[in-house]
């Protein structure tokens, strides 16, 4: 299935049904009076987050959604039928923006979260509504109110506990494949990963977390270079970032600075998130190169750096345990706040 994390849709809620003018006419009843019923309510347009979806591809080809009009009123004080809602099912983590792409209308970050994004119109009043002691035979009925109509932007931000960042070919996809059942594309050329990948990491029977891998960043990504920074939104919800550095390259400190500058240029709090830095591809380094590059990277980062190899699994359990500890602290803090 093709991955799509942004889509534009047009929604139109149903108009309300019309009220009617009618009079009661029965044998032996001299003064029947008005009995025109009200119109029914138009259908709403609802957006609901559901399990089992991880892309907005359904809204690439179907972009217009319109609810039905409410039923018209009828004689004998009969109210028109209300119309059913139109429900748009989206992945968990979908945000809904107005047409300007800046005004956030809703953030559906939990299973079953629902929001009425376009309100159906109320039904118009029939002439029975206007009957008074001085107006015994009103000949007024109202049209139904129009339903809301608008363009919307749907933007998906994947729900993950930890995110992988790094330059292209830093070994992120290899790491994800090694620690989860995900099967990302792995090759020896840059930008192998073209869209985000998710994997569930299970440490034991009671501990697990979701790990997200996004396409690699290069210098100038926040200005559109390479694949740009459009996929960074998928790690905005993460509790911790694992920054993988390619240890087979001669300047790991420069690689770390490049990605950090892109995170700061993107903003939205990514640069302030807890970050674990790991020197990857130990199997491709000599002992001398390992020592010198580790020291250079630790001087640049200002704290200890993890050593690992996604290909041989060396150091991977320690990295997963460090990630799990940060995630557990974040979950405990969120639970206490709630």
Q: Point out the domain boundary residue: 116, 138, 156.
A: 156
Q: Per the structure block, which two tokens stand in for 6?
A: 């942004």
Residues 189 and 286 in one domain: yes
Residue 91 among known ligand-binding residues: no
Residue 23 among known ligand-binding residues: no
Residue 213 among known ligand-binding residues: yes
Mean pLDDT computed over 213-223: 66
Helix extents (H) in 190-251: none
Residue 169 among known ligand-binding residues: yes
Residue 173 among known ligand-binding residues: yes
Counted domains in the chain = 2
Q: Point out the domain boundary residue: 106, 125, 156.
A: 156
Residues 188 and 126 in one domain: no
- Number of CB atoms found within 10 A of residue 305's CB: 21
Residue 163 among known ligand-binding residues: no
Residues 207 and 224 in one domain: yes
Q: Per the structure block, which two tokens stand in for 123?
A: 């039904």
Residue 226 clears pLDDT 80, i.e. is over it: no
**Percentage of residues in the chain having pLDDT higher than 90:** 39
Residue-level pLDDT at 206: 80
What pLDDT, in 10s, does the model give residues 275-334?
A: 999 999 888 888 888 889 989 999 998 999 999 888 888 888 999 999 999 998 888 888
Residues 189 and 123 in one domain: no
Residues 143 and 267 in one domain: no
Residues 110 and 186 in one domain: no
Residue 172 among known ligand-binding residues: yes
What pLDDT, in 10s, does the model give residues 43-75?
A: 999 999 998 888 898 898 899 999 999 999 999
Residue 281 among known ligand-binding residues: yes
**Percentage of residues in the chain having pLDDT higher than 70:** 91
Residue-level pLDDT at 190: 56
Residues 246 and 102 in one domain: no
Q: Are 94 and 128 in contact (CB under 8 A)?
A: no
Mean pLDDT computed over 161-184: 83
Mean pLDDT computed over 13-20: 96
More confident of the two residues 314 and 231: 314
Average pLDDT across the chain, whole number? 87
Q: Per the structure block, which two tokens stand in for 129?
A: 């509504």
Residue-level pLDDT at 219: 64
Residue 133 among known ligand-binding residues: no
Residue 325 among known ligand-binding residues: no
More confident of the two residues 80 and 166: 80
Residue-level pLDDT at 51: 86
**CATH for 134:** 2.70.210.12
Residue 193 among known ligand-binding residues: yes
pLDDT band at 20 (very low <50, low <70, confident <90, very high): very high
Residues 152 and 166 in one domain: no
Residue-level pLDDT at 205: 76
Residue-level pLDDT at 9: 96
Residue 267 among known ligand-binding residues: no
Q: Point out the domain boundary residue: 97, 132, 156.
A: 156
Q: How many CA atoms lie within 13 A of 101 on its CB side?
A: 5
| Range in 2-6, 86-90, 153-157, 201-205 with the lowest mean pLDDT | 2-6
**CATH for 308:** 3.40.50.300
Q: How far apart are CA 122 and CA 116, in angstroms?
A: 15
Residue 21 among known ligand-binding residues: no
| Range in 41-45, 171-175, 181-185, 204-208 with the lowest mean pLDDT | 181-185
Which residues fall within 8 angstroms of residue 309, CB to CB, at 6 or more apart? 280, 281, 282, 283, 315, 316
Residue 52 among known ligand-binding residues: no
Residue-level pLDDT at 35: 92
Residues 145 and 174 in one domain: no
Residue 330 among known ligand-binding residues: no
Residues 151 and 179 in one domain: no
More confident of the two residues 9 and 190: 9
Q: The domain containing residue 298 runs over which residues?
A: 162-337
Residues 232 and 315 in one domain: yes
Residues 135 and 166 in one domain: no
Which of 48, 24, 43 has the alpha carbon at shortest distance from 35? 24
Residue 195 among known ligand-binding residues: yes
């Amino acid at each position: 299935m093709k991955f799509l994390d942004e889509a534009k849709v047009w929604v139109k809620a149903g108009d309300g049904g019309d009220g009617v003018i009618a009079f009661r006419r029965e044998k032996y009843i001299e003064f029947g009076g008005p009995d025109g019923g009200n119109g029914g309510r138009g259908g709403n347009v609802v957006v609901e987050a559901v399990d089992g979806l991880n892309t907005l591809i359904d809204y690439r080809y179907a972009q217009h959604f319109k609810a039905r009009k409410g039923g018209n009123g009828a004689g004998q004080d009969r109210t028109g039928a209300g119309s059913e809602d139109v429900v748009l099912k989206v992945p968990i983590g979908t945000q809904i923006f107005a047409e300007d792409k800046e005004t956030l209308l809703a953030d559906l970050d939990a299973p079953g979260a629902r929001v009425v994004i376009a309100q159906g119109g109320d039904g118009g009043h029939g002439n029975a509504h206007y009957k008074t002691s001085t107006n015994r035979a009103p000949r007024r009925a109202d049209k139904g109110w129009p339903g809301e109509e608008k363009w919307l932007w749907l933007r998906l931000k994947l729900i993950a506990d930890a995110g992988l960042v790094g330059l292209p070919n830093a070994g992120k996809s290899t790491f994800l494949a090694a620690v989860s059942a995900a099967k990302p594309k792995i090759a020896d050329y840059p930008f192998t990963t073209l869209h985000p990948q998710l994997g569930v990491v299970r440490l034991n029977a009671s501990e697990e977390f979701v790990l997200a891998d996004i396409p690699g960043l290069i210098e100038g990504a926040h200005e559109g270079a390479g694949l740009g920074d459009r996929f960074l939104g998928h790690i905005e919800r993460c509790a911790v970032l694992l920054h993988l550095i390619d240890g087979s390259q001669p300047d790991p400190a420069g690689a770390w600075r490049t990605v950090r500058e892109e995170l700061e240029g993107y903003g939205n709090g990514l640069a302030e998130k807890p970050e674990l830095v790991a020197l990857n591809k130990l199997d491709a380094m000599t002992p001398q190169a390992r020592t010198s590059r580790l020291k250079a990277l630790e001087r640049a980062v200002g704290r200890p750096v993890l050593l690992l190899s996604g290909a041989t699994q060396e150091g991977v359990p320690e990295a997963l345990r460090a990630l799990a500890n940060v995630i557990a602290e974040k979950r405990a803090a969120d639970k206490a706040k709630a």
